[in-house]
Amino acid sequence: MPTARALPDVKDRLWKELALKAELITDGVGITQEALDLIRPGQGVQEQVHCLFEMDFDTHDFELPSGFDLPLGLSVPFRWNQRSDNVITAEGGRAILVHRGHAHGEVKFHPRPAYYGKTTSDGQDMSTVGALYQHRALFVAYSNECSYKDKGEDCLFCNINYTKDTYGEKRGIFWKTAGQIGETAAEAFREGLIDHVTISGGVIPERRELEYYLDVAEAIQSHTGREDFNGTAVVAAPLDLRQIDRFREAGYRTTAMNIEIWDKSYYDTICPGKARGGGGWDHWVKALKYAVGVFGHGRVRSNMVAGIEPKKKTVEGIHVLTGEGVVATAGIWCPNPGSELAGHRAPEPGWYLDLAETITAAWKRAGFTFEQVCDCNASSDTLQHDIWRIQDELLPVFAATDAALVEHAA
């Protein structure tokens, strides 16, 4: 039987699905009560966990799903927007995406992992310690506070402190201990769900940050029995760059320091804490270059929040950093509730697709492997990763038979 590879239009259809994904992330998606009753997030379907940021357009006091797969298999993180042109409804026992008034097809919500129903030895729900991301990644936000808040210098796009104040401990926002993280990572590995762990959080004084990250690495190693647990330490650029060596020695395979904004003037305005308290933009770039010397080419990541500064500035940053061996990337900006920029609007979905193509091309030109660009990112469920998957035919749909493909896309 011919495979999907032989079908000339598979890629065309995937590019269209990717454009839809860009729209669903940029503009969010609504969901009807009937659809929520059908999928029951937190039971059969994986629910959202509020780690770091509320990424929905509005806060909520009920469970929402974490994400879903489109008909050809591209996965979409669920960003709830009651005012979106796109709505998920229930029809005949299936969840259907209605795209601008027309039924687009069935979407499949991500199944709830078994460890979400388990607790750590001190009684904490594992779902609140580490969130399962698509493509086999565990994400741990050890704390939802950023010390820049004390001086009123939080980044203007960020709602980390607001998210904590809104949801609090009842919804799983608390300081995670190294032991809780080690146990949760071990369980997720044991269930065969992950092969990558990211540790992240708000900015805390750097000595405390270093010691904490070392404790966490040791706990993961001891609970999983893995010396190399494919961990990413997401940190603030330390003023003493030698601390970067310590993260590597502790067993993290990769590190990330997110510069957020490439244009220095925008940076001073949008990221006042980083600009003044974190050594400033020049120091951050210096730290990224230093980290490549420690962790290696393609083993250091830096993210930018795209859509605040002019695109050409973000693109300039992508090119400069990838040229230095840093996996520079940029995500779709969600003007998060509670942030200073709440109520602003992100650019058009096509703006982000264009940027994602530039990023994928820059990654390939820099000689990064797909494994590297996944390993150092907390989530590889991004447009730029999907572009790589489509270009290199890495998606399951490319191996499907004609019949299966028809079923997928029906």
**Closer to ligand SF4 by Cβ: residue 148 or 213:** 148
Distances (CA, A) of 267 to 146, 156, 274, 309: 17, 10, 8, 9
**Closer to ligand SF4 by Cβ: residue 202 or 238:** 202
**HEC secondary structure over 161-204:** HHHHHHHCHHHCCCCCCHHHHHHHHHHHHHCCCCCCEEEECCCC
**Least Å distance between CB 86 and ligand SF4?**
28
**Least Å distance between CB 153 and ligand SF4?**
8
**Closer to ligand SF4 by Cβ: residue 254 or 303:** 303
Question: What is the enclosing helix (H) or strand (E) of 306?
Answer: strand 300-306
Question: 272 φ, ψ to 5°?
Answer: -60, -35
**Closer to ligand SF4 by Cβ: residue 146 or 185:** 146
**Least Å distance between CB 241 and ligand SF4?**
18
How far apart CA 380 and CA 397 sit, in angstroms, is 18
Distance between start and end Cα atoms, the chain: 19
**Least Å distance between CB 333 and ligand SF4?**
12
**Closer to ligand SF4 by Cβ: residue 47 or 154:** 154
Q: And the tokens for 327? A: 């996996």
**Closer to ligand SF4 by Cβ: residue 21 or 79:** 79
**Closer to ligand SF4 by Cβ: residue 151 or 365:** 151
User: Beta partners for 305?
Assistant: 331
Q: Compute and round to an integer the Cα radius of gyration of the chain.
A: 20
Residue carrying structure tokens 């492997």: 369
**Least Å distance between CB 154 and ligand SF4?**
4
Three-class DSSP category at 80: strand
Report which DSSP code applies to 409: H
Largest CA distance in the chain: 65
**Least Å distance between CB 156 and ligand SF4?**
9
**Least Å distance between CB 160 and ligand SF4?**
4
Binding site for ligand SF4 (CB under 6 A): 146, 148, 154-155, 158, 160, 202-203, 273-274
